[in-house]
Structure 1
Amino acid sequence: MQMKDSQTVPASRDKVWAALNDPAVLKQCIPGCQVLDMTSPTEMTATVVIKVGPVKATFGGKVTLSDLDPPNGYKITGEGSGGVAGFAKGGAAIRLEAAGDDETILHYEVDSQIGGKLAQLGGRLIDSTAKKLAGEFFTKFGAVVSAS
């Protein structure tokens, strides 16, 4: 699945960059995130519970940041296993564009793959769930960053 979009965040680019690299902020914003630990400046481990249609799964996995270009953007890749529910892996290119002093446009391009029981649910359900989760993340991210 591929998805490309942008979101305006009511905060400066430096503030948005700092939040994108803060595990405490990310944990608050990622739907279903139970654990998010920074293991190095460019790696994190995560545990996320996701429900897609009738399938609810707990995914454990690793997230890596690469192509870091502070405060302009980076690439984030990850993979996780949900046991019998299957696996998920993918990445996103994140680019930050200043829009005045107090707003930032966050552009993202996502590419992901799933397998196992989740893949059997059908493309439309997977796509709509992915878009819903991305929307929840960016709504919460904007609220958390602008409030801090």
Structure 2
Amino acid sequence: MELSGKAKFNYCSEVVWEAMHDPELLKNAIPGCQNLNLVGDGKYDVELKLGVAAVKGDYTGKVKLEDVHVPSHYILTAEGSGKPGFVSAKMDCKIIPEGKGCQLIWECNADIGGMIAGVGSRVIGGIAKFMAGKFFKDIEKQLNVHQNI
């Protein structure tokens, strides 16, 4: 499955970059995130509790950042599994200055298997886009709080 999108921020590239690499901000913004631990340089262990349609469950996985160019580009690879199935994804993220803020452009290629794949790619794609939108809105909300402290 291939997905892509854009998110606009009212903050400069450097501030958004820091937010996108702050484990505590990420944990609070990733839908269903129960735990996010930095275990090495650009490597995280993650635990999620998610539900897609009638398929709900707990997932554990690993996230790794590669091809990092501060503050404008990185590739995120993620693998996770649980009773409902598995997900393997690779997402290319570019942060581009725009006016007084910036724009994050992402492209993702994901493989899904198990019961969760039985929901159907059209439904999964819609849910994934919704969750990505929620994630970026929650990052912006957290930036608003942290920048105004």
TM-score range (shorter-chain normalised) is over 0.9
Percent identical pairs in the alignment equals: 32
Q: Secondary structure at the match of 1:139?
A: helix
Question: Match of 2:127, as an amino acid?
Answer: T
Report the counterpart of residue 30 of structure 2 in structure 1. Answer: 30
- Alpha-carbon contact 1:11-1:146 (below 8 Å) kept: no
Q: Distance in 2 between matches of 1:64 and 1:8?
A: 24
Question: Match of 1:9, as an amino acid?
Answer: F
Q: CA-atom RMSD, angstroms?
A: 1.0
Q: Distance in 1 between matches of 2:18 and 2:68?
A: 12
Report the counterpart of residue 92 of structure 1 in structure 2. Answer: 91
Counterpart check, 1:134 vs 2:118? no
Shift of 1:3: 1.1
Report the counterpart of residue 9 of structure 1 in structure 2. Answer: 9
Q: Which runs of 5+ in 1 are unaligned?
A: none
Q: Distance in 2 between matches of 1:97 and 1:89?
A: 26
Report the counterpart of residue 118 of structure 1 in structure 2. Answer: 116
* Alignment partner of 2:142 out of 130, 134, 144: 144
Question: Match of 1:97, as an amino acid?
Answer: I
Shift of 1:93: 0.5
TM-superposition CA deviations, 1:3-46 (whole Å, max 9, x none): 11111011111111111111101001100000000001210000
Q: Distance in 2 between matches of 1:9 and 1:33?
A: 22
Q: Which runs of 5+ in 2 are unaligned?
A: none
Q: Distance in 2 between matches of 1:122 and 1:5?
A: 20
Runs of 4+ in 1 over 4 A off after TM superposition: none
Q: Distance in 1 between matches of 2:22 and 2:88?
A: 21
Q: Secondary structure at the match of 2:71?
A: coil
Q: Distance in 1 between matches of 2:131 and 2:30?
A: 8
Question: Match of 1:120, as an amino acid?
Answer: G
Counterpart check, 1:43 vs 2:43? yes
Give the TM-score normalised by structure 2: 0.94
